[in-house]
Structure formats: C-alpha cells, structure tokens
Amino acid sequence: MGGGVPIGILVKDRAPGKAHPSAHRPPGRKGAFLWNLLFLLLGLLTLAIGVWGLLAKGWLQGERLAPLASDPMLLFVLAGLGASTVSLAGCLGALRSSACLLRFFVGATLAFVGLEVLGGLLLLVARQRLRDALQDALLLCLLRYQEEPDLRFLVDEVQRSLRCCGLNSYRDWESNLYFNCSAPGVQACSVPASCCLDPQQNGSITNDQCAFGVLHLGDMAAAGVVHLGGCVVQLGAWLRAQAGGITTGVAVLVLLEATGLLLALKVLADIAPGGARG
C-alpha cells in the first residue's frame, strides 16, 4: 500500500524496554541539583576562607603545625569540607539519579541535624559548664593575644563593641606575658587599646598607646582611661539579648536542611521503581 508505514519501524518503535530516555528522569531532580549546587558553592567558599586564613598565618608551611588544632580557621576548613562533600554527593546523586549518593546525602544531612539537636540540648542542660568553657576559651584568647591575628581581631572587636576589658576586669591582662608588669617590652603594665574609653586619636586614627601603663594606676585613675568591667558578664548579657535572632537562624537552617532532604527523598522515590543506579 502506497501511503502505509513500514511494519518494521512500528515494531521497532513499540519494542519493549526502549522507552524514551526522559521517561527515567525523576521530575524533581533539577530542583535537588540546583539546591545542592548552591550549598556546594557556599561550602567551597567557607573552605577557601579557612585555607586562606591558615596560609596567611603560615600554619601549612610545616614549621607551625603543632598548635594547628587550636586555630579558629580550622573550623572554617572542617565546616567547608563537610558541607561541600555532602552537597557534592547530593548534586551528583540528583544529576545521575544515583540512589547510593542520594542515600549518603540523606544520611549525612540527618547526622548534621542530629548534631544540631544534640547541641541545642546541651545548651539547655549544661549551661553552667558551657559558660565555664566559654570563659576558658576567652582566657586562651587573652593569653595568645599577640600570637594569633584572628584571635587579636576577635578580642578587640568584643572589647570595643561591648565596652569591656579582660575576662572579669581589666587586671586580667596581667596574665598575658607581654602586658605583665614584669615584661621587658614597652607594653609592660598595659592593656590593649580596645579597652580604652576613647581609643581614637583626632577622631579617626586609633591611638595604640592610649592604655600604656594603665596597670600601674589604681582603679579610680584607671577608670578615666579604660573600661574596668570584664567581658564575660557583658558577653552573657549580649547572648541573652540575641536569643531571638539565634533561634530564628537555627530555625531557618533546619528549614533549609529539611527542604534539601525532601527534594532528595522525592528523587529517591521516583527512581526506586525503575531500578536505581549505584
């Protein structure tokens, strides 16, 4: 018959197991891929900041590896490495419809959520111990003030913003080897300029010598130069005032993680009936 379709083509088109490639693509995998791609980029950015910080201070040059574990930049490295690894697994799992990678992503995300819940419970149950741990961490910052640029920046920002000095009082700086009155340097019997009531000279330039020799003075005279109160009480009050913002931030983080989980589980559910690739 002149206008008919060849029977061979019809048989070929209708052959079993030859479905169109798009039939095996889970409809939600594009959203899961884009969602995890965003967190992959954020994780890589965090990792890059941490590595840059360690390189800038020479931690990775070989001669300063011993105290590496106490460096705050290591937290950026670990957080960025963990987030980028999990997000990469989610991206590849959604892109290739791989049940193995998606299950790894779901398990790792659930582990992160579990750690966050455990941390929240610890904050409620062991507040006093955590307060003591915070004070120990601040003492470490005080002792290593001159040795770590990022710790020095952190201490100066806290003292300047909260208008405080030291842990419990300005005299806590006597425990620092450089500010102790028996130290040989020019900073002996002094405290950082961030403790000063007015650290600015001529309204714009920081006067690094505004607190020189203040530990020689009595409390009455020192009160006209530096803040006498410590930062532990002020920091605790600030954290209590920020409780609402912290709670909101945690809720947003959990919501984002839940969204990523739901997207991954949807892709898993779509590819499960057809046989997932590993």
For residue 264, give the nearest of 25, 21, 24, 35 by alpha carbon.
35
pLDDT of the chain, 278 residues: tens digit per residue: 445 545 444 444 444 444 444 445 555 678 888 888 888 899 899 889 888 877 776 655 554 544 555 566 788 888 889 889 999 998 898 888 888 998 999 999 899 888 888 887 877 777 777 777 778 888 888 888 888 777 888 899 889 889 999 989 999 999 898 898 888 888 888 999 889 988 776 556 777 888 888 888 888 888 888 999 988 888 888 888 887 888 888 888 888 888 888 888 888 888 765 544 45
CB atoms within 10 A of CB 150: 14
Bridge partner residues of 200 (DSSP): 206
Residue 275, C-beta contacts closer than 8 angstroms, at least 6 positions apart = none
CB atoms within 10 A of CB 123: 11
pLDDT at 97: 84
Bridge partner residues of 229 (DSSP): 169
H/E stretch holding 107: helix 99-125
Q: How far apart are CA 40 and CA 34, in angstroms?
A: 10
- Domains (range + CATH), the chain: 27-127+246-271 (no CATH), 129-239 (1.10.1450.10)
Q: What residue type is assigned to position 45 of the chain?
A: L
Whether the pTM exceeds 0.75: the reply is no
Any idea of the CA torsion for 156, 161, 166, 169, to the nearest 10 degrees? 160
CB atoms within 10 A of CB 139: 15
3-class DSSP state of 207: coil
CB atoms within 10 A of CB 77: 19
pLDDT at 71: 65
Q: How far apart are CA 89 and CA 102, in angstroms?
A: 7
Residue given tokens 């920002």 in the structure block? 157
For residue 256, give the nearest of 97, 28, 35 by alpha carbon.
35
CB atoms within 10 A of CB 174: 15
Report the length, in residues, of the chain. Answer: 278
pLDDT at 58: 61
- What are the structure tokens assigned to 227, written together? 């803040």
